[in-house]
DNA sequence: CCCAAAATATATGTATACCAATTAATATGG
DNA sequence: CCATATTAATTGGTATACATATATTTTGGG
């Protein structure tokens, strides 16, 4: 008997659930090995790429609410990975910069989450990647999802 | 110039991020219209499908930790959507059952999250769905994700 | 039969993640 | 030029989500 559309749909949904599960699990493994969480490492990577970034810009690049990122930065500062510094030109803003410990962490941290997926995808031949992209675009178009500019790699 | 593999990869990752974002947003909209969250509605739907379900079985079907589901059930009980009842045959267990308010909520709640995606996918022609499935399988295989039996629909 | 081990639910503590409100600093308009 | 609005960061409150610890009950091995 021919495989059913129903089964295909179930498999698609399970794949997305599985991807989310894997991303979460990798974050937990990171926590065990480095005493740091996935979102925290994501923030460190962004501060490394954009030195003296403000909290507002960081939260935009992480696609998270400012208050969420504020808490993440709190914990990273307490743990000694970065420092907050008032901006002299606009004293409402802060500049976030890595400490030596933070620089070391970014250098030694393993690939996790989307960075890892990125790495894996680059090993596939271009036509396969193109096929996956087309399928994903079909999905997001169907769900009316706007993909504007999501640069963040967590 | 030919489109680059790099771009395709970025688009794939953004699609996944977008899907997760949409699922979260739908949960929030539900919260506004029904005073209930996505996970809470998911729990109510499962209790409706499996009357007198135990906390352990519910957490298994939701693919969440028992302690997480315990909190969700706490809030639903406080809000009057369901009741806990000690199981007389095994007094360690509890039986969870819906109140009239809970039954009404399950009946009137809109489709959200994966239920909604399921609904949308059924409107696509079978070959398109098949293509998406194959692409997703390629992705999950690449990431070594085991899709066993994820029945939960949130 | 009895006590150790396992299972069930709950409680506690930490980390996201959101919103709303607050505070401080800067821009803007009348 | 000053009152008002806007912007940046923080704080407090709620809801997931996890791990760990605890209490109660059940079960199994000796």
Going from N- to C-terminal start, the domains of chain B cover: 17-109, 111-146
pLDDT bucket at B20, cuts 50 / 70 / 90: confident
- For the segment(s) A5-109, the CATH number from 1.10.260.40, 1.10.760.10, 3.40.50.620, 1.10.10.10 is 1.10.10.10
Closest CA to A59 of A39, A78, A79, A75: A39
Per CB-CB distance under 8 Å, the chain A contacts of B133 are 8-9, 11-12, 15
Chain A residue whose CA is closest to B141: A15
User: CATH topology for B17-109?
Assistant: Arc Repressor Mutant, subunit A (1.10.10)
pLDDT bucket at B152, cuts 50 / 70 / 90: very low
Please report the DSSP string for B88-136 in residue order.
SSSTT-EEEEE-HHHHHHHHHPPP-HHHHHHHHHTTS-HHHHHHHHHHH
Chain B residue whose CA is closest to A62: B17
This prediction has a pTM of: 0.80
Structure tokens at B115: 């239920």
**Quick one: pLDDT at residue B149?**
35
Say how far B12 CA is from C23 C1', in Å. Answer: 41
Nucleotides of C under 7 A from a protein CB: 7-13, 15-21, 24-27
**Quick one: pLDDT at residue B29?**
79
Q: Average pLDDT for residues A105-120, to the nearest whole number?
A: 83
Distance CA A68, CA A75 (A): 11
b vs e for B100-118, b when ≥16 Cβ sit within 10 Å of the residue's Cβ?
A: eebbebbeebeebbbbbbb
A130–B17 C-beta distance less than 8 A: no
Q: Which residue is nearest to nucleotide C8 (CA to C1')?
A: B92
B120–A18 C-beta distance less than 8 A: no
**Quick one: pLDDT at residue B2?**
57
Closest in B12, B126, B150 to A17, CB measured: B150
Q: Average pLDDT for residues A51-62, to the nearest whole number?
A: 96
């Amino acid at each position: 008997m021919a495989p059913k559309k129903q089964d295909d749909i179930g498999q698609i949904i399970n794949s997305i659930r599985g991807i989310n599960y894997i991303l979460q699990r990798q974050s937990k493994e990171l926590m065990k090995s480095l005493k740091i969480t996935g979102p925290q490492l994501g923030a460190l990577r962004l501060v490394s790429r954009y030195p003296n970034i403000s909290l507002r810009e960081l939260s935009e690049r992480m696609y998270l609410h400012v208050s969420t990122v504020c808490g993440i930065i709190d914990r990273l500062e307490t743990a000694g990975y970065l420092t907050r510094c008032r901006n002299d030109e606009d004293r409402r803003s802060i500049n976030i910069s890595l400490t030596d410990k933070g620089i070391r962490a970014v250098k030694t941290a393993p690939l996790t989450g989307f960075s890892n997926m990125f790495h894996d995808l680059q090993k596939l031949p271009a036509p396969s990647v193109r096929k996956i992209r087309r399928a994903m675009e079909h999905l997001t178009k169907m769900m009316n999802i706007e993909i504007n500019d999501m640069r963040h790699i967590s």
